[in-house]
Amino acid sequence: MNRIYIEQAQGLKTSELEVEIVERKGTGHPDTVCDGIMENVSQALSKAYLEQAGGMLHYNCDKALLIAGRAEHRWGGGRILEPMRLILGDRATSFWAEQKIDVESIAIEAAKGWVRKNLRHVDPDRHLHYEVELKPGSEALADLYRRADGVIGANDTSAAVGYAPLSETERLVLETERYLNSESFKKQFAETGEDVKVMGVRTGRSLHLTVAMPLIERYLESERKYFGSKARIYEAVLAYLQSRLDALDELKLRLNPIDRPGVGLVGIYSSVLGTSAEDADSGEVGRGNRVNGLISFNRPAGSEAAAGKNPMSHVGKIYNVLAYSLAHKLQTEIRGLEEVIVWLCSQIGKPVDQPEVVYVQGHLNSGVRLSDVSGVMHDLVTAELARMPVFCRELTAGLFQIG
């Protein structure tokens, strides 16, 4: 029997705090690149196992290191001197019923596919070098799959947490990056790279957003061209944000704030490929956004990286995504809940639909008592746990965006 605990949250909601700090690392940030690639590898391995073995096999590919290359920067278009290196690692089953499963080729093709889809100026064949270190897993963990009857046992004793809804600060930070990396924005401002980072600091009812985004050198004939483009981009982003405000009274925007006119390329944020991994910054799985796409410093956070984990037994993925999904369902489907936080904790070997504990805190609307909603909250959590096999298949199919 699942142990489900429900209580009323005390204190202020996140949106009521005097100071709120929220960050998002965009599509081309080296950490986000690692997360995105390894999640794509996870889905490719899942598909291969289901097709070749008729069911899920043991893997866990949540380890990746993107090592920055070297670039020469020039007005009108720089060049890559040394490609980036991508090390893809951890565990993956490579044999089934004496048949070899080409894990290395699957991983490399999945990585290249993600790059082609998300990084317009990166050629995955020329600008990246791949090293695959996906080795067979331990017998104990592999055995969880062989003896599974229905729901697979948890691979680890671990915990996760999720919350809903987003505060206005969180929503604006998330929407800003998605707008800057949207197809329509890139069509309008083709000179912008994908390595967008947004930091939001709210004090009271005032929000300061700092955006870092490189401009692609092939579109920049001169310093004057850079600052002209930057001014037009700034006005477009500011207009977009002002149209998205709700309860906030003031919004200030900074774009590439350390730029220095008059000193040439060293005084601007430019790029050959649109990602700082070309020569400035390396990346790693798990150092970036949580599964809801944000790094919210005022919120509770787990320690597990979800990207790349097995969607059938690895609770670092399953419970991370489920915690946010549960919080969202509770907050949107049950009247009287203003804000919800959900914690989930597993016990290794125990079926993933039987968490060691589910702990739910809810901020209630004025006039609502916990007894008014606790019963229906308990029923909703129980129902969602009962559909765990379906939820895991949805994860396997990539129906949930992670990060």
Overall average pLDDT of the 72-100 stretch: 94
pLDDT tens-place string over residues 350-383: 999 999 999 999 999 999 999 999 999 999 999 9
Tell me what pLDDT residue 149 has. Answer: 55
What pLDDT score does 152 carry?
Answer: 81
Domain of residue 273, CATH code: 3.30.300.340
pLDDT at 150 over 80: no
Give 159's contacts (C-beta < 8 A, 6+ positions apart): 302, 319, 343, 344, 345, 346
**Tell me: the pLDDT tens digits for 126-141?**
999 999 999 986 655 5
Query: Tell me: the pLDDT tens digits for 331-353?
Result: 999 999 999 999 999 999 899 99
Residue 383 located in a structural domain: no
Task: Please write the tens of the pLDDT for every residue from 33-52.
Answer: 999 999 999 999 999 999 99
Is the pLDDT at 146 greater than 90? The verdict is: no
pLDDT surpasses 70 at 148: no
Output Rg (C-alpha) for the chain, integer angstroms: 23
Which residues, 6+ apart, have CB-to-CB distance to 296 below 8 Å?
A: 14, 20, 21, 22, 23, 170, 290
d(CA 66, CA 56): 28
Q: Is residue 212 part of a domain?
A: yes
Q: Are 3 and 356 in contact (CB under 8 A)?
A: yes
**Is the predicted pLDDT of residue 147 greater than 90, yes or no?**
no
Per-residue pLDDT at 145: 60
Does some domain include residue 236? yes
Percent of the chain residues topping a pLDDT of 90: 89
pLDDT for the residue 139: 57
Domain assignment present for residue 220? The answer is yes
What is the model's pLDDT at position 155?
85
Cβ within 8 Å of residue 53, ≥6 positions away: 96, 97, 101
Task: Kindly state the DSSP code that residue 89 receives in the 8-state scheme.
Answer: E
pLDDT tops 70 at residue 235: yes
Which residues span the domain enclosing 226? Answer: 14-26+168-278
385 inside domain: no
Give SS3 for 299. Answer: coil
What band does 2 get if pLDDT is binned at 50, 70 and 90?
low
In the chain, how many domains are there? 1
Prediction pTM value? 0.95
* Helix, strand, or coil (residue 228): helix
The pLDDT mean for the chain works out to: 94
Q: Is residue 195 part of a domain?
A: yes
Please, are residues 197 and 23 in contact by the beta-carbon 8 Å criterion?
yes
* Average pLDDT value for residue range 103-124: 98
Q: Is residue 181 part of a domain?
A: yes
pLDDT (0 to 100) of residue 142: 56
> How would DSSP label each residue in 38-81?
HHHHHHHHHHHHHHHHSS---EEEEEEEEE--EEE--TT--EEE
pLDDT for residue 154 is more than 60:
yes
Residue 264 counted as domain residue: yes
Backbone angles phi, psi at 385, to 5 degrees: -65, -35
Using a pLDDT cut of 70, give the percent of the chain over it: 96
